[in-house]
Amino acid sequence: MHCPQCQFSDSRVLESRATEAGQSIRRRRECLHCKYRFTTYERVEFVPIVVLKRDGKRESFDRSKLLRGIIRACEKTGIPQQRLEILVDEIESQIQQNPEREVASNEIGELVLQNLQLLSEVAYVRFASVYQQFQGIRDFVDTLNHLENQSDRASLPLVALGQKPEETKNVAVQLTNETFSRG
């Protein structure tokens, strides 16, 4: 590392510590020639990911866009913001581990759904309704039935659409009955 003061090419590390939740390393250095002290940061350099959209357009992967979509799906679920940021970190890491530098948007959507299914069924349904472009109540019912069938937690009721757990014996049937009784 070149000294910013005298450009000498050798320095010694005085102190190292992890920063940014372990995403970078901060190093205090001292030039061996002029004794000038300076700080350097070491970060992992990610290769840019290109997202292939449904309409065939390509755009750079935008972590903040992914986070916004997940935050929106998780509104009023009580899931802390920090947990959502960790979730986005995990999804981004999975995408970065793929040797392909181009990823289809539906692959990212499926990763989000897999993670949301474990985190919050309400958030799962909300995200699925936008991602899968629900057209009507039937799409919601099908998704709720899918969740109910996938659930390994048979003792836990399916909570959806703002209902209390004791009110959700069979959400899909309740939704269907409400649809027909209104109409």
Q: Residue 170: what pLDDT?
A: 42
Query: Could you tell me which residue, 3 or 153, shows the higher pLDDT?
Result: 3
Instruction: Flag whether pLDDT at 160 surpasses 80.
Output: no
Q: How far apart are CA 149 and CA 170, in angstroms?
A: 12
Q: Residue 166: what pLDDT?
A: 44
Q: Residue 4: what pLDDT?
A: 94
Q: How far apart are CA 27 and CA 18, in angstroms?
A: 9
Q: In this structure, what token pair is assigned to residue 81?
A: 């913001």
Condensed to tens digits (0 to 9), the pLDDT of residues 124-142 reads 999 999 888 889 999 999 9
Q: Please state the rounded mean pLDDT for residues 156-172.
A: 42
Burial of 98 (0-12, 13-18, 19+ CB in 10 A): exposed
44-53: which pairs have CB atoms within 8 A and are 24 or more residues apart?
46/96, 47/96, 47/101, 48/101, 49/95, 49/96, 49/101, 49/102, 49/103, 50/101, 50/102, 50/103, 51/102, 51/103, 51/104, 51/105, 51/108, 52/102, 52/103, 52/104, 52/105, 53/105
CB atoms within 10 A of CB 110: 12
| pTM beyond 0.85, yes or no | no
Instruction: Flag whether pLDDT at 152 surpasses 60.
Output: no
Condensed to tens digits (0 to 9), the pLDDT of residues 95-117 reads 888 888 899 999 999 999 999 98
Q: How far apart are CA 53 and CA 170, in angstroms?
A: 36
